[in-house]
Every structure is written in structure tokens, then in C-alpha cells.
Amino acid sequence: MQIKVEKRKTIIQGILGLTVMLGVIRLSAIMDGASISANSLQAMNLLAGIICVAVSFAVFAQGWILFTNNLSGRRLYSAVLFSILGTLDVFHIATFSGIHIFGFEPNNSLSMWFLLLSHALGALGLLFIFSFPDREISQRHKVLVFLGAAVLNLGTIFILYIYQKQLPTLFGVNGIGVFERVAQVAIPILYGLGICAIMYIHRKERPAAALTVVTALVFMMLGHILLTFVDPLGTGLEHAIGEWCMGISYYFVLKGVYKLTIEDPFQGQLIIEAQMKHMAYYDDLTGLPNLRKMRECLGGSLESCGEGSNRIGVAVININRFKAINDSLGYSAGDKLLTEVGERLSDLCSPSEVIYRMGEDEFAIVIPGYGDVEAVEMRAEQLLGSVNPAVMIDKTEYHISLSMGLSIFPEDGDSVDQIIQYADMAVHSAKELGLDFIRYTPAMKLRTQSKVELENDMRKGLDRGEFFLEFQPQVSLDSGNTVGMEALVRWNHPTRGLLSPGEFIPLAEESGLIVPLGEWVLRTACQHNKQWQDEGYEPICVSVNLSMRQFRQYNLADRVDMILKEVGLEACYLELEITETMTFDIDTAFEQLHSLKRLGLYISIDDFGTGYSSLYYLKTLPIDRLKIDRSFVKEVMLDGNDAAIVSTITTMAHHLKLKVTAEGVESKDQLEFLKLQNCHEGQGFLFSKPVPAGVFESQFLTRLVG
């Protein structure tokens, strides 16, 4: 908008200058020079000349004083140019006004020599300066340029001083010669070329500083025409107005340099500071205020609330299973989901309520102005229940669910940190308990502290060797022989005793410890298998579960290959189990699985039937085995739907030439049903629960004959 205003101002100023020039010419013709005395005209010329000189040296001072180590070349060259023009204008106005200066004899011809030199250098200099893109100039270059300008300036004055009596007379009584005619025409052309150069260089965007210089060139052109075309002898009003036009043009140059040296950098700094402040207080993805902004605003709200009767609620909202969505569909899909949820929550908030993005998949809404706790709770639940769960991502509709945790000032806490922390604790408790909404209670703090302690113990337990493996046999349903085993991690906590995987695996996934823990399981399982082979047992395959974080590692295949080589186990005796959700990002899964298959190991899909795999995925991805989830096997004799699902999976697997393993086999009836469906292998308590390595070796391994 400001650039458009500057364009309009430039056009108006140019038209105004042209109107003034034509008006002066017409006025002079009418008045015939009789109404203005010679002294008045001389005073006008002298004053205009003094202004030109003052502004010229102001331009020079701005370029010199305000020039730092690495700044604009245009600023430097403009300062140098106007130091020369100011010097020439001093001698021009002095010789024109009859003043003896440094040995120069005052006369009109010598004055015109200084004027034409000034105009020619000004036109050429501005054309040169603005015909090329701006660039940075160093401090050393600055000194050299100013020294060169000083030598040129003094040399020009000295040559004119030596040859002042031999110089041809300009604009004398004998008429105007060829040189004068060339100067009259060539200099305005150079001014015009300067205007064209500026407009071309800034054709995409025309900043205010450039347009100001265009205005200066317009007035220079008008001033030159009045001074050389209309009244070169300086006897009328036209000459005086021409001097004033030059003074006005110098002012616009000064203004342009000021914009370039002070105003534009200052405005640019303000913009950068505003951007940095926005980045500090607002989320880049959603545009919502962030946690830092929330702390500041909430602090002010709590202070104003004080000990009054009003309550302030902080509701923290978490997207359930966001990590699975983000990992399986990709980060871009996760970003779209976050943006959509943020917009929907914003639309639901009243003018007094403010939504913030706390980070990752968490949002917070500050709910002020309610007189009692129950009203705050009702409003929080109303907000949660009003969110539309259907979200379109890449032309596919997904249904999401949200969890909300609420804390209320002053009942639940009396500081900003406490209120935010307790609301966050509440939402995590809601997720753990499978609830949509829950308000903070002191017991949550104890559970959170326990989780933190457990996470810290887990880090130490990896180093202390507190984890161990149990193995569950995988049995051929045809022969009844053990043909494989699944390695399952257990934790013997030093104070809490034996912990089940459900107590620490979710925490490991949440904290990122699942990656080192998963690698330890993989290495240890391979070591056991290799050791049993070396002791003469018949080789069988060991299955190891991969977590999503492991599967997303770009160097997973290299890590697995390194472990196999370290242990000395052949890849054909290792099977890696993935889940269906890991295959949602088909491109990533395709590349990762093919990298693993090139090692020679096997790939199986664990808990098959609980996700959303398509036949296209199964056909495309290099899968060797499907493991039917235990939830289908459990009710296979009671629920016709589960029986149909198991039958369909086994039939589909046979057509796709895939092996099928049924998990959770606990009864002989289930076993017989699975045999009828031509299921290859079974795994479950009917055969054995997971047992320590020593027990597995003695009960399920077979020594090679001979």
C-alpha cells in the first residue's frame, strides 16, 4: 500500500514541477521581466544556490558519517557524487553573483561552465549509480572512493582555474554554439535514462527511496531546461526558478539517501524485530500463540483475578494416537491434522477464551470469567464435545478423538506453572485411563512422579543388565514341532520386581528409549539363537518385534546387518515383526522393507487384522508372514464374525503365497479350527507361555543327529 502511495506522490510531484515550469515561462512572457528587480532576482539565485550547496554537503555527510563497514554502494557513490556537485555549485553561484573566489573572475560564461559540469556529472553519476543493482561496499573501498573523488574534485577546479581565460564563451552575445546545443539536449537525455534505469531495476517492486530519486531527476531535468534553454543569461525569473528546481531536486536526493541510510534500515529492523517477536510468541504451523505467550497472558490474568470470586480454567487438549497418525501417514499429514484441529478449536472459543498451541499434539484453552468450578468444567466439556471428529487428509476422511485435562485457579494451583503443569498431567491421565475428559487431582502428580522415576530407572536398567528375554515357541500345526520362537523382553526391576511389558513399553515408546531397548532385544535374541546353534541344536528362526521409532530409522538395515555380522548369525534365522500401521506410508515402508529383505531375513506383519492394510499393500510389500491377532483367535469358536475373519485371512494369505501364524491359541478347539483353515503355525499358551532362555532350550530345542 505504501509503495502505491509513493508512486502516486511521484507522479503528482512530476506533474506539479512541469506545471510550475510552464507557468513560470508563461508568467515571464506576460510580465516581460518588468515587475521583478535585478537585485531580487540575484537574491533568489543566490539563496537557491546556497540551498543546493547545503543539501549537497548534507548528502555527503550522510554517506560519510552513517556508512559502516559493509553497507550500500549506492549510498557511498551518491555521497561522493554530491560532494563534487556541491563544490562545483559553490563556484557556479559565486561567479554568477559577482563574487571573487579563489582567483576566479566572476562572469556569466565561467558560471555556466561550472553549471554545465555540475549538471553533466550529476546526470552521468546518477545514471551510473542506478543502472546497476546495489551491492555491499567495504570500509577500505569507502576510503579509496572518497580519496579518488577528492583528487578529481581538486583537479577539475585547478584545471578550470588555470585555463579560465582560454575557455570558450558560453551563451554569449554571439549566440549559442554547437557545444551549448549538445549540452542543452544531452544532459536531459541522461536524466531521462537515469529515470528509465531506476524504473527498470525496480520493475517488480518500486521502493520509496527509488521513487524519491526519480522525483529528484525530474526536477533536475526541469531545472536544467530553465537554466540552459529558457534563460541561460540569468536575467529573468526563469533562471531563478531553474536554480530553485535544482535545489528541490537536491532535497529529494537527500530525502532518498535518508530513506536508504536511516529510514529503510530502521523500518527493516523493526520488521525483523516484529518477525522475531512473532516467532517467539506464535506457533509457525498453526499461527496460534504458543506456550511462552500463554505464560505471559495467563500470568496477567491470574494477577487481575487475585483473590476474587472468578475462576480461570486451563484445558489442555491432546489428539489421541497422533503419533501413530504422524508416523504412518507422514509428517505432512500430521501438520494438516494439527492445523485443522487448531482452526476448529479457535472457531469454538468465545471472545474471552484464548487457544494456544503448547507443542507437538497439544493445545490449551484458557477459560476465564466463571464464578464457580462447575461452570468451568461444563464449559470445558462443551468445547470438547463440539469438535467435529471427521478430518479430511489427502482426500481421505479420518475420525479423530481428543482427550482433555482441566485445572482451575485457584482451587488446583496458585501459579501459572502449577495451573499449566496440572492441566497437562490431567490430559495424560485421561489418555492412560481411556477417558475423554478429566480434571486434575493430587494423585495424578504422584503418578507422574512415579513415571519419571521409572523412566530414569529404565535408562539405568539398560546399563545395569536388568532386562532379559523370554521366548515363546511357534509350533507347526501339521507336525507339532517347534519351528520358531518369538523373543519377548522382560524387566527385573531392583525394587519393584518383575515388570510386565505393559508397564514399561509404552513409557519407553513415549520417551524414545524404545530405540536402544529394541536394539538390545535384537542383539540379545540373535546372540541366544547363535549360541544354541553353536551348541548343536537344530537351527530355527527367532522373531523380534520392531517399534515404529526403529522402523523409521533411515539406517535400520545397516544397524540390523551390523548386529548380524557381530553375532555371526545368518540372516535367514531372523524374522522381524512389524505392525500394519507402519505400512501406511507406503513409499517409506516399501523402501525400508526392501532394504531389510536384501539382507536375507524374513518380514511378518504382527497383529494382522487390527489395522487398515489393503490388498494392494500386501501385494506390493515384501512380506513373508501374516500373524493373526489374538483378539480374533480368542472368540473364534464363539463368534461367527471372528471365525469368518480368520478364515478370510488364511485364504488370502495362501493366495498371496504368505505363511500364516495364529497368535493367542489357548484351546484344542481353536487348534482344530485353525488346522481346518490350513493355518501354518500357532503360538499361545496351549503350547507354552513365554519362558526364560534356559527353560526354552531344555523343553523346545532339538539337538542335531550325528
Q: Which of 357-366, 448-457, 520-529 has the lowest mean pLDDT?
A: 448-457
Q: Which amino acid is at 594?
A: H
132-170 residue pLDDT tens: 777 777 777 777 888 888 888 888 888 877 877 777 777
Q: What ranges do the domains of the chain cover? A: 2-275, 291-440, 453-700
Whole-number percent of the chain with pLDDT over 70: 89
**Phi and psi torsions of 312, nearest 5°:** -125, 120
| Cα within 13 Å of Cα(529), Cβ side | 30
Confidence (pLDDT) at 220: 82
Q: CA 359 from chain center: how many Å?
A: 15
Nearest C-alpha neighbor of 49 from the set 251, 242, 238, 247: 247
Which of residues 294 and 70 earns the better pLDDT score?
294
- Which range, of 421-430, 580-589, 608-617, averages the lowest pLDDT? 608-617
Of 107-111, 257-261, 287-291, 666-670, the least confident:
257-261
Short-list 535, 565, 661, 549, CA closest to 604: 661
- pLDDT tens digits, residue range 105-118? 777 778 788 888 88
Q: Which fold has domain 291-440?
A: Alpha-Beta Plaits (3.30.70)
2-275: CATH topology: Rhopdopsin 7-helix transmembrane proteins (1.20.1070)
If you average pLDDT over residues 419-439, what whole number do you get?
90
Report yes or no: 524 and 488 within 8 Å, Cβ to Cβ.
no
* Domain 453-700 homologous superfamily, CATH: EAL domain (3.20.20.450)
Which of 202-211, 356-365, 447-456, 548-557 has the least mean pLDDT?
202-211
Q: 262 or 356: whose pLDDT is higher?
A: 356
Tens-digit pLDDT profile for residues 541-561: 999 999 988 998 989 999 999
Alpha-carbon span 687 to 690, nearest angstrom: 10
Read off the pLDDT of residues 472-512 as tens digits, 9 standing for 90 and up. Answer: 999 999 999 999 999 999 999 999 999 888 889 988 988 88
pLDDT at 309 over 70: no
pTM score of the predicted model: 0.54
Report the Cα 330 to chain-centroid distance in Å: 18
Place of cell 508397564: 503
The more confidently predicted of residues 460 and 25 is: 460
Quote the pLDDT of residue 615: 64
Over 90: is that where the pLDDT of 686 sits?
A: yes
CB 332 within 8 A of CB 347: no
Answer whether 483's CB lies under 8 Å from 476's CB: yes
The mean pLDDT of the chain is: 83
The reported pLDDT for the residue numbered 233 is 67
pLDDT score for 1: 45
- The percentage of residues in the chain with a pLDDT greater than 90, rounded to a whole number, is 33
Provide the pLDDT for residue 367. Answer: 92
Do residues 381 and 437 make contact, with C-beta atoms less than 8 angstroms apart? yes
Q: What is the DSSP string of 121-149?
A: HHHHHHHHHHSS---EE-HHHHHHHHHHH
Band (pLDDT 50/70/90 cuts) for residue 46 is: confident
* pLDDT tens track for 319-349: 988 877 777 777 788 889 899 999 999 999 9
